[in-house]
Chains A and B, each alone.
Chain A
């Protein structure tokens, strides 16, 4: 598969988003055409809203962990996308003829690789994308654990993670 192209300005904007929300996780979407990203959508992380953890596919251990934390602390270890924001972004993509390409989120304290929770939920979501008329995206992680952000992109299919390389220009 051809490498995705992410413009430097969009990469910078994603890093800015991650830094603005740290120590909380940020999340969002990248869309474009023919493997070239042209638009970024910031999506609110609403994991702190009561009940959000119960409707996502978090496993029981993760839910127990989240429920031990205060609502403000939950966003340090998890994200749940605001589906109102998501719907608005999806409509904008449709209006502009763009395809969803990447789901991104940050790991303020951890490496840029998918957590067990990320892999489980992405795998559960594989059957949902076609039902909402979207292609299966790759998953981009922004780690802020070191001074220089580390950014990596992955395919997550049937519980298997593989590198999804991209070019910045």
Chain B
């Protein structure tokens, strides 16, 4: 089981849950698994080709997937994944 931390802007899609547990063996698999339970979440995270959008980041156990293998980063049970929205302001 993998624990996924959901940031505030996406909690409207996850029934207000800040953490959800999923079973997945890669980031791509995790995004697809989340999409099956929480429709709409994939489009917020990935572009049409499945690449991570520039205004979001994903960390696996505090490491940035952009410095692992991106969407192909492998996952194992016990990993913690954080979806991190961009720093922003007005």
Q: Is the interface of B mostly helix, strand, loop or mixed?
A: mixed
Contact in complex: B10, A124 (CB < 8 Å):
no
Report which of A54, A83, A114 forms a contact with B54, defined as CB distance below 8 A: A83
Query: Which among A25, A62, A83 is the interface contact of B55 at CB below 8 angstroms?
Result: A83
Q: Of residues 130 to 151 in A, which have CB atoms within 8 Å of B's CB atoms? A: 131-133, 139
Q: Does A117 contact B (CB under 8 A)?
A: yes
Q: What is the 8 Å Cβ interface bit string for chain A, positions 34-77, against chain B (1 contact, 0 not)?
A: 00000000000011010110111110001000000000000001
Given contacts A82-B54, A83-B55, A87-B66, contact A128 B7 (CB under 8 A): yes
Cβ–Cβ < 8 Å partners of A27 in chain B: 87, 89
CB neighbours (8 Å) of A24 from chain B are: none
Q: Which residue of A lies closest to B47 (CB)?
A: A51
List CB contacts (< 8 Å) of B56-74 with chain A: 56-57, 59, 62, 64, 66-67
Q: Is the CB of B62 within 8 A of A132?
A: yes
Task: Collect the chain A residues with CB atoms within 8 Å of residue B66's CB.
Answer: 83-84, 87
Q: Is B82 an interface residue (CB 8 A)?
A: yes
Tell whether, in the assembled complex, residue B85 and residue A55 are in contact, meaning their CB atoms are under 8 Å apart.
yes
* Chain B: interface residue total (CB-CB under 8 A): 26
A124 neighbours in B (Cβ, 8 Å):
7-8
A115 touches B90 (CB 8 A): yes
CB of A155 closer than 8 Å to a CB of B = no
Known: A87-B67, A91-B67, A133-B62. A46 touches B55 (CB 8 A): yes
Query: Which of A51, A81, A86, A139 touches B44 (beta carbons < 8 Å)?
Result: A51
Min Cβ gap A75→B in Å is 11
**Is B88 a contact partner of A56 (Cβ separation < 8 A)?**
yes
Q: Which residues of B contact A132 (CB under 8 A)?
A: 57, 59, 62, 64, 82, 84
What are 21 sample pairs from A and B whose C-beta atoms fall under 8 A apart? A25-B89, A27-B87, A46-B86, A49-B53, A52-B55, A55-B9, A55-B56, A55-B85, A57-B9, A80-B86, A81-B55, A81-B88, A87-B67, A91-B64, A91-B67, A103-B87, A115-B90, A128-B7, A131-B62, A132-B62, A132-B84
B residues in contact (CB < 8 Å) with A: 5, 7-10, 43-45, 53-57, 59, 62, 64, 66-67, 82, 84-90
